[in-house]
Amino acid sequence: MKSPVLPSRELLERYNRPGPRYTSYPPVPFWSTEFAEQEYRAVLAEVAATPEDTLSLYVHLPFCAERCAYCGCNATVTRHAHVVDRYLDRVERELALIAPLLGGKRKVVQMHWGGGTPNFLSAAQTRRLFGLLDGAFAIDRSAEIALEMDPRIGTYEQLVMLRELGFNRVSFGVQDIHPMVQTAIGRIQPIEQTESLYRWARDLGFASINLDLVYGLPFQTPEVFAATLRAITELRPDRVACFSYAHLPQSRPNQKRVDASGLPEPHVKAGLFHQALAAFAESGYSWIGMDHFALADDELAVAADERKLHRNFMGYTTRPTPHQLALGASAISDLGGTYVQNDAALGRYQRVIDDGRLPVVRGHRMSDDDRLRRLAITHLMCNLELPYNLGRAEFGTPVGETLADEIVRVQAFAEEGFVELLPDRLQVSELGRFFIRNLAMELDAYQKPGPARPLFSSTV
């Protein structure tokens, strides 16, 4: 991958609208809080009616040893093992409510444990949870089985156990290696810790290792971030996610502890991301979607080249499944085009389960129009093109006809150099990748003009 040119400050400011990341369409704020448990049960019955469909499985494990100041996840700090045990009791009950409705032991081809900190679980708790899932589902031998790990509490023994259970993918949180940045975000993690865990994971044969970075953190100057990028590219993980830091202390009180005096200006933040693009390009990585990178021979990079990349709540994937079932507090399922979210409040999630009910707080059943737009947005954001014939096989009428007006608006970005117009498709240019959300928003029927906020602002 060659490194794309950084857009001018003027362009970045002109297209300074906040936009969804489109992990779902419509985005979560447009789902209904009236979506009831009965509807969830009805959707599960529909899944049961297609027993040959495979599943992806997500489990949310919200516990952490301490709260990092910059964190935007649904996480709960505890030092007590019994708190985790009680949570696992509820996940077990949730599973007991759901599994019979799915009509038998369904085949799982992808499983992801996210958090929080999944490796906060003890060995016994990890084995217990894996055993529960293994008992309720037919986990395919070639399934992608992944979890997120905090290297600060990761051990060699933990990795050995995970491999023994069948985990073959792992993602380590890094963010930035500089002590000054780490102090400002309340997460001290010496690089040696990350390196040890990484090398052990390699030695133990994990098929894919991902590292997470964050740009736009306080005191993250170009020199500071260069050191992080050097250390990470030297390790040579298969994949890297490089997320933008969103500083929203009003809605995330823990971020009040972040030393905001050092937050970079939007154009500096844009420069940091551009620096990441250059560093990964030089090291043989492909730029995937908005903010991911994969070694050029990684299946994600190959799929992106072949325009076959997909995306779901678990991230980019080459294996789309019709149903993603999610368990645990705050977890989001996508079952054949119906989104369902569990209560994020741990206490309420547990109480509802104790009452023998499913802890649904919102959901959305996609219309045909939603499905077509989701297809168009996902294809545009993953594969950087919009073939006008897209959707013909599934919907009878392709996007070029159904979304003709919207496509004209996306085509208009050719004047800025964001898209190239080919006879049968529009293609996103390298410059246009920086504005991919602006392009996608033109295809979104739910978007209304929002308040201006810089693209690389620390509050996006």
Q: Scan residues 107-126 and list those touching ligand SF4 (CB under 6 A).
A: 115-117
Size of interface with ligand SF4, in residues (CB under 6 A): 11
The residue range among 65-73, 309-317, 319-327, 412-420 that interacts with ligand SF4, by the rule CB under 6 A, is 65-73
Task: Quote the least distance from Cβ 77 to ligand SF4, whole Å.
Answer: 7
Build a one-symbol-per-residue string for 288-317: x at contacts with ligand SF4 by CB under 6 A, - elsewhere. ------------------------------
Task: Quote the least distance from Cβ 64 to ligand SF4, whole Å.
Answer: 3
CA atoms 18, 276, 255, 84: torsion sign: positive
Cβ nearer to ligand SF4, comparing 132 with 149: 149
Cβ nearer to ligand SF4, comparing 63 with 137: 63
Cβ nearer to ligand SF4, comparing 124 with 188: 188
CA atoms 375, 313, 281, 184: torsion sign: positive
Task: Quote the least distance from Cβ 245 to ligand SF4, whole Å.
Answer: 11
Task: Quote the least distance from Cβ 254 to ligand SF4, whole Å.
Answer: 8
Question: Could you give the CA distance from residue 388 to residue 229 in angstroms, rounded to a whole number?
Answer: 38
Cβ nearer to ligand SF4, comparing 186 with 320: 186
Q: Is 71 in the site for ligand SF4 (CB under 6 A)?
A: yes
Q: Scan residues 330-369 and list those touching ligand SF4 (CB under 6 A).
A: none
Cβ nearer to ligand SF4, comparing 154 with 454: 154
| End-to-end CA, the chain | 27
Q: Strand locations in 224-335, DSSP E?
A: 239-244, 285-288, 292-295, 310-312, 315-317, 323-327, 332-335
Q: Is 73 in the site for ligand SF4 (CB under 6 A)?
A: yes
Task: Quote the least distance from Cβ 75 to ligand SF4, whole Å.
Answer: 4
Q: Is 67 in the site for ligand SF4 (CB under 6 A)?
A: yes
Secondary structure string (H, E, C) spanning 38-81: HHHHHHHHHHHCCCCCCEEEEEEECEECCCCCCCCCCCEECCCH
Nearest in space to 158 (alpha carbons), one of 195, 120, 194: 120
Cβ nearer to ligand SF4, comparing 115 with 216: 115
CB-CB neighbours of 29 under 10 Å: 8
Q: Is 150 in the site for ligand SF4 (CB under 6 A)?
A: yes
The residue range among 51-59, 63-71, 132-140, 260-268 that interacts with ligand SF4, by the rule CB under 6 A, is 63-71
- Is residue 430 within 8 A of residue 441, CB to CB? The reply is no
Task: Quote the least distance from Cβ 22 to ligand SF4, whole Å.
Answer: 22
Cβ nearer to ligand SF4, comparing 62 with 398: 62
- Is residue 136 within 8 A of residue 99, CB to CB? The reply is yes
Question: Could you give the CA distance from residue 159 to residue 150 in angstroms, rounded to a whole number?
Answer: 12
Joined together, the tokens standing for residue 393 give 């096989």
CA 23 to chain centroid, in Å, comes to 7
Question: Could you give the CA distance from residue 218 to residue 239 in angstroms, rounded to a whole number?
Answer: 24
Task: Quote the least distance from Cβ 78 to ligand SF4, whole Å.
Answer: 11
- Is residue 263 within 8 A of residue 218, CB to CB? The reply is yes
The residue range among 35-43, 68-76, 239-247, 377-385 that interacts with ligand SF4, by the rule CB under 6 A, is 68-76
The closest residue (CB) to ligand SF4 is 71
Q: Is 68 in the site for ligand SF4 (CB under 6 A)?
A: yes
- Is residue 206 within 8 A of residue 147, CB to CB? The reply is no
Interface residue with ligand SF4, options 19, 173, 216, 359 (CB under 6 A): 173
Task: Quote the least distance from Cβ 26 to ligand SF4, whole Å.
Answer: 26
Question: Could you give the CA distance from residue 335 to residue 320 in angstroms, rounded to a whole number?
Answer: 12
Joined together, the tokens standing for residue 323 give 């149903």
Question: Could you give the CA distance from residue 343 to residue 360 in angstroms, rounded to a whole number?
Answer: 6
Instruction: State the burial class of residue 164 (Cβ atoms within 10 Å of its Cβ: 0-12, 13-18, 19+).
Output: exposed
Interface residue with ligand SF4, options 44, 75, 294, 384 (CB under 6 A): 75
Residues that bind ligand SF4 (CB under 6 A): 64, 67-68, 71, 73, 75, 115-117, 150, 173
